[in-house]
Chain A
Amino acid sequence: MIKENNLMARTGLLGMLCLLTLLTCLSCNQSEEISYSRHIKPILNEYCLSCHGGIRAQGGLSFLFEKEAMEAQTESGLRPIVPGRADKSEIIKRMRSNDPELRMPKEGPALREGDIQLIETWINQGAQWDDHWAYAQISNPNVPDLDTAWGSNAIDHFIYQKLKEKGLQPSGRATPDELARRLSFDLIGLPPTLENAGEFLKNPTNVHFDDLIDRLLDSPHYGERFASMWLDLARYADSNGYEKDMGRSVWRFRDWVINALNDDMPFDQFTIEQLAGDLLDVPSTDQSIATIFHRNTMTNTEGGTEDEEFRSMSIIDRVNTTFEVWQATTMSCVQCHSHPYDPFKQEEFYELYALFNNTQDADLDSEYPFLMETDSVQKDLRQVRAKILALKGEAVGDLNYIDKSEIKNLAHPRLFGHFADDFQHVLIANDGEFSNSSYNSNNQKDKKYYLIFQDVDLNDLEEIRYHYFCRGDDAVIEISLDSIEGPIISRTSMTSSPGKDKDWQWKSFPLEVSQNGIHDLVFHFINTTGDFRNGVVSVKEMVLGYQGEETTQALRSWQDTLLALYQGGIKSPVMKERTAALRRPTHVFERGNYLVKGAKVQPNIPEILNHEDVIVVDRLDMAKWLVSDKNPLTARVMVNRIWEQLFGRGIVETMEDFGTQGFPPSHEELLNYLAYQFSHDWNWSIKALIREVVSSDIYQQSSRTSANQLEIDPFNIYYGRGTRARLTAEQIRDQALAVSGLLNTKIGGESVMPYQPEGVWQITYSSAKWEAKHESDKYRRGLYTYWKRTTPYPSMTAFDTPSREFCVSRRITTNTPLQALVTLNDPVYVEAAESLGAWMTKQGQGDLKKAIERGYEKALLKKPNEEVLEILHGLHEESVQPMAMHVSMDRNKKKILAPMTVVANAIMNLDAFLNKS
């Protein structure tokens, strides 16, 4: 098994086949045009780049960039490549040398003669350095003409052309039942229902198939199905990941993805809102929620960890994830040194880092900043808001709009940590308490701790009161205007609060100078000695005392209610850019170590991808660039993802890597065509893309295999037959629940905790329990299952779901005995079999065979043949007696299963049931 694996991994089968063909034709025709990117680069990658590439440029030579290679100032002074003159090119001499001191590569076997000849020919042809296919601008290729009537759309034309070249023919159409199942799983992740597919099954015409496509694309379950794909990329999970792995509230993001997909939000908008929704003009709540995409990074709340270290790790993850998801480019290699194989320099990584380096989140335990709201709380908030406004004698206005700034105003004149518009080093807790305390206070001396509250009305302000607790006598609280260097309006030395436990005190401080107008307030903690035990102040709330302000008891009480509601709302961590004054500078991390800072860099995008010298300043610019026609990768990468979802393998199999170490596309023209259409004619509509693909004849082919096909195209690279693939973890669960009638089809909401064996859920730092809140939660779709990163849901991990600690582009399908144990024995699957069995018995009306037939048909949309029916009937017969005996032996008369459950369980373990074909 081994040889193939590694060879495949290295070049891809397709690459090898191409190379094989090429070698054959080269030997007969030396005038064949050799391409650097297609033919030469893979050889250099394999033999040369590990010493002459991004990590090391031994002897002064690197092949990473054209300039480096062609104009190399080598230690030997010799020219490695002399265009047009292979005989004068040092690399050819070195590759052929018999002298072990001289021969390249220095270690390992020599190059194959065929490879050396290729390089020779390329040099003699002028050593032209062309772009790697994936970095070339996407153009709209011509659709090939066909000499056959076969084919429904352009996709078929591209595919047919290649099939013909290979001496293959497309297969016939799959049977209606196969097709309905395939389409339904592919589009909504659930088996077809008779309501949806009935017409088509009865009368499988193209019109009815198109109609089925429409129904499925319009189904609200469509969004759920493709959300599963996206959530792997977004490393979405319900816990924050490291040691304590505490829960976090990000499910609003999952729902945002589902809704966006259902609404067919254009992919460019889908991109911009997730990467930079917070930077849009007046972002809506939804656009804020979208930015959770990058708040799905992990937060380390382990005692004694340095927040800045893990903040840095999050930023690194954001760069890597953005580039994997939208560019299929492996930037993680570039953290520590230039890319070993692809043309990316180390500083380019940190230029991207700079784009992400200015958000407010800072690995705080509270996950601040967050958006606080839920629909139900919003509703109450609105009512309370109306009360307050009425008491204040102000107009109530638009009841539908309320946000943090308005709450701030209504609760006025009280300020909390989470009302701050920006902060530096301060710890902000969930309830809004803020302090200059931190676990890592060894270098507290050099840090400034402050919060900024923007746009505070200072007219008639007389005093400021805090509810505080102070440890020691070394703290000073300073309040300044507009910036930390601005005019100081209040400065107070604090003294130690009495009591060991936090004994909160009120203290009021008159303003030193009276002020007018609207200003930013800067609340600054100063610890004069730097000894943190002697100068930590925690502040629960700050009250602005205005002259003549009368707070009636009623108003005060409604304000308290408002705040309590606000505090009790869902806190979704979101992205929020820092204010200009607090922008962080970005430096290269030497060897990837965040403690060793190198040269300072400015935001930029990597040169190789920046075809038109686009200038980017912030995330929004970058997001817009990703989905502009100046970007060569985004459309190709997304089209490839959708293709993989539908065919089980991408046109580029290495979904995560379009670089020179990835596999080349099996159908480059087709990929370009779809990418171009997707980003132009279809206006980034994912549904349009999917509709086009599933409408093609190749999608609808039968997956039966002939000996000829197996011989010529064993891996079905050329799509001469339909795809057969195991369902995903979510689909396997959802199918069992759907077929058995147990499925709760509710869409969205908080994540749920369905049955999980005891002992799996281990949480040390909280009393949270794994339990279903509602009975109906037990049968929700798989994607709603609570995703705890350190102990993911075991019956789904058995079917290859990732832990979601990091971005995953493709799940590798495995086939293990643990999977068999899940679908045979996991109580969820047993209950499903029980429910299906009961339904079958009822349907049979005393006729066993009829019951079995109905059950089989329900599961697979077709009647069992006689042989299958006999076997299942036999199983029922065989089950009756032992099960009855079990009952008579069981003194407790515990409920046991009926024989039909055993039959249903067998049906639900059929390979045909666990696969789509």
Chain B
Amino acid sequence: MHCQRSNTRYSRRDFLGRTSLGLGAAALASLTNPLKSFGASSTMDLKVGRPHFAPTAKRVIYLFQSGAPSQIDLFDHKPLLEKLHGEELPESVRQGQRLTGMTSGQSSFPLVSSPFEFAQHGESGAWVSELMPHTAKVVDDLCFVKSMFTEAINHDPAVTFIQTGSQFPGRPSMGSWLSYGLGSDNENLPSFVVLVTKDKTGQPLYARSWGNGFLPSEYQGVQFRAGKNPVLYLDNPPGVSSQLRKRQLKDLSALQELQYDQIADPEIKARIAQYEMAFRMQTSVPEIMDVRDEPEHIYDMYGEDSKKPGTYAANCLLARRLAERGVKFIQLYHQGWDQHGNLPTAIKTQCKETDQASAALITDLKQRGMLEDTLVIWGGEFGRTNYSQGRLTSTNFGRDHHPSCFSVWMAGAGVKPGHTYGGTDEFGYRVVNDGVHVHDFQATILHMMGLDHEALTFKYQGRRFRLTDVHGHVVEDLLRV
């Protein structure tokens, strides 16, 4: 996170601190810029720190459904499967695709139609299963992408891929890239905040999903937690009141200034500013976490869970509050979608935990006029198979990981509302039109935030890295013109 953007002097020193050269404001003030003689004709990317072009989205709320929700049981309606239920997946459809080790040994791949009722909703007529009744009500605000595909077949590489653009650890996460590219709009809060549903099990989450990779650590996501200590170490020690802390920091500043007078290291001034920001966070964070001032009808909208701190619903509500206060990238994580077995029961629980609040977030943002410039994304790391993992019985089945197609939805900020983009074959096995690769998805999100995914780079190990590696195309057709 970073916070000195409001002051150009600090932001200048900020980059210098980063290059470890340690020169700051004072020095710069007296420095005749040696770079000018090159500046005019240089091909450098001069755009980091502000958008490359006018954005349609000022902020992103990414509702990450970790573990990979089954598109076939939620949004990607496949009537053919009803006819072929229980029959073998034809080899002509599978075409030798790589399977995970969990089903690769199966001798039979029985197709499974969704046991859940599908219906078309809204003016847009989007297909949604009965598992998502609330989402069904807001479909005219959503843009479904049914043609997502990825390269990874296991959770860790796939989550890392969709979050960082590479299957292997080491790259910055999407939120880090955005903070690096755009800075912060709120000097009391970090620009990248992470909210994780409490007490869920399933795939573990990896700090690298919101990590800074090779970017400076100030760009990593800051996790806000439910409970007494929403940000680690936010609370003063026992006996130290806010008043006393204020006094202590005032004295500390005075002492730091004395030090500055002696050695004139601008880094000292920066430290003073960081302590001030820390102090402001001690007020602003609890304030944002304290949702008691929300009216009852808001709780009703998000559902009863929204009163329980740490639930997905409560986090959705918090996401809206953070968005209101100018946090640029808010990422929620909800685990538990990995239904290799027992899908019919387990997916119901997942939907119950998430459906109402996801929909409420859309409605709430809309009624506040914020959906206009807030991009909301819902989705996981890959899809699930159209055939059963393990035995298919009349009441039970599972679905394995499936990289060749999955569904996500996006809403708000320049995305076409009430639209469905891309499609899969009748078997729900692979994309047949308008495929959106993970890198395309990332390029498109950056684009909406006003960033050119090819120009947002950071040089590391002799190479300029990007979120989209050397790939990715903005999916123009998703965007409202």
State the A residues within 8 Å of B (CB).
1-10, 13, 16-17, 20, 46-47, 108-110, 112, 241-245, 298, 300, 302-306, 313, 324, 330, 332-333, 340-342, 438-442, 444, 531-533, 595, 648-649, 653-654, 656-657, 659-662, 703-705, 707, 710-711, 714-717, 724-726, 757, 759-760, 762-765, 789-792, 794-795, 797-798, 800, 803, 805-806, 810, 812-822, 824-827, 830, 867-868, 871-872, 874-875, 878-879, 882-883, 886-887, 894-897, 901-902, 905-906, 909-912, 914-915, 917
Contact = CB atoms under 8 A, between A and B. Distances in A.
Given A5-B15, A110-B41, A243-B155, 19 more contacts: A6-B45, A47-B43, A243-B204, A333-B462, A440-B101, A532-B105, A661-B459, A716-B22, A760-B232, A815-B17, A815-B270, A818-B278, A822-B232, A825-B235, A825-B237, A871-B254, A874-B251, A882-B241, A906-B252
Given A10-B44, A243-B203, A897-B238, A878 B244 contact: yes
A812 B217 contact: yes
B463 interface: yes
Interface string B82-115: 0000000000000000111111110100000000
Interface in B232-248: 232-241, 243-245, 247-248
B394 interface: no
A648 B259 contact: no
A1 B271 contact: no
21 contacts: A1-B8, A1-B49, A3-B44, A9-B458, A304-B101, A648-B20, A649-B20, A653-B20, A661-B459, A661-B463, A762-B205, A803-B207, A803-B208, A812-B20, A814-B216, A814-B217, A815-B267, A819-B274, A821-B278, A883-B244, A901-B237
Contact of A911 (B2, B39, B227, B271): B271
Nearest to B464: A9
A6 B239 contact: no
A204 to B, nearest CB: 19
Nearest to B256: A911
Interface residues of B, number: 114
B401 interface: yes
Given A662-B462, A886-B239, A875 B248 contact: yes
A532 to B, nearest CB: 5
A896 B20 contact: no
Give the 5 A-B CB pairs with smallest separation, nearest first: A896-B239, A661-B462, A439-B101, A442-B104, A304-B100
Interface stretch (B29-37, B291-299, B352-360, B473-481): B29-37
A694 B469 CA distance: 42
Contacts of B99: 442
B432 interface: no
Nearest to A3: B46
A236 B85 CA distance: 50
B134 interface: no
Interface in B192-247: 201-208, 211, 216-218, 220, 222, 225, 227, 229, 231-241, 243-245, 247
A847 B268 CA distance: 31
A705 B27 CA distance: 10
Contacts of B259: 910-912
B225 A759 contact: yes
Contacts of A6: 44-46, 48, 459
Given A442-B104, A868-B255, A313 B168 contact: yes
B42 interface: yes
A584 B401 CA distance: 31
B204 A814 contact: no
Contact of A871 (B38, B100, B251): B251
Contact of A714 (B23, B104, B105): B23
The interface centre, meaning the residue of A108, A810, A817, A896 with most chain B CB atoms within 10 A of its CB, is A817
B258 interface: yes
Contacts of A762: 204-205
Contact of B258 (A763, A765, A867, A895): A867
A22 B278 CA distance: 47
B1 interface: yes
A704 B101 CA distance: 62
B230 to A, nearest CB: 11
Instruction: Tell me the interface secondary structure of chain A in the complex.
Output: loop
Interface string B253-277: 0111011001111011011001101
Given A442-B105, A867-B258, A875-B248, A112 B204 contact: no
B18 interface: yes
B392 interface: no
B169 interface: yes
A236 B199 CA distance: 30
Interface in B122-178: 153-156, 168-170
A313 to B, nearest CB: 7
A704 B264 CA distance: 7
A705 B265 contact: yes
Contacts of A20: 34, 37
Given A757-B229, A821-B234, A241 B48 contact: no
A449 B1 CA distance: 51
A606 to B, nearest CB: 15
B247 A878 contact: yes
Of B11, B251, B258, B267, most A-chain CB atoms within 10 Å: B251
Contacts of B104: 440-442
B102 A304 contact: yes
Nearest to B281: A817
A730 B175 CA distance: 27
B393 interface: no
Given A820-B275, A825-B236, A894-B238, A2 B462 contact: no
B417 to A, nearest CB: 35
B31 A711 contact: yes
B113 to A, nearest CB: 24
Contact of A16 (B8, B16, B35, B207): B35
A906 B248 contact: yes
A897 B245 CA distance: 13
Interface string B377-389: 0000000000000
Nearest to B247: A878
A897 B274 contact: no
B206 A882 contact: no
A733 to B, nearest CB: 13
A341 B462 contact: yes
Among B100, B153, B243, B255, the one with the most A-chain Cβ atoms within 10 Å of its Cβ is: B255
Most buried by B among A4, A330, A710: A4
A16 B42 CA distance: 12
Given A2-B47, A313-B168, A764 B233 contact: no
B241 A242 contact: no
Given A330-B462, A897-B238, A911-B259, A705 B264 contact: yes
B367 interface: no
A815 B267 CA distance: 8
Given A875-B251, A882-B243, A657 B461 contact: yes
Task: Identify which of B238, B245, B461 gathers the most chain A CB atoms within 10 Å of its CB.
Answer: B461
A440 to B, nearest CB: 4
A724 B24 CA distance: 13
Given A109-B43, A906-B251, A333 B463 contact: yes
B425 to A, nearest CB: 23
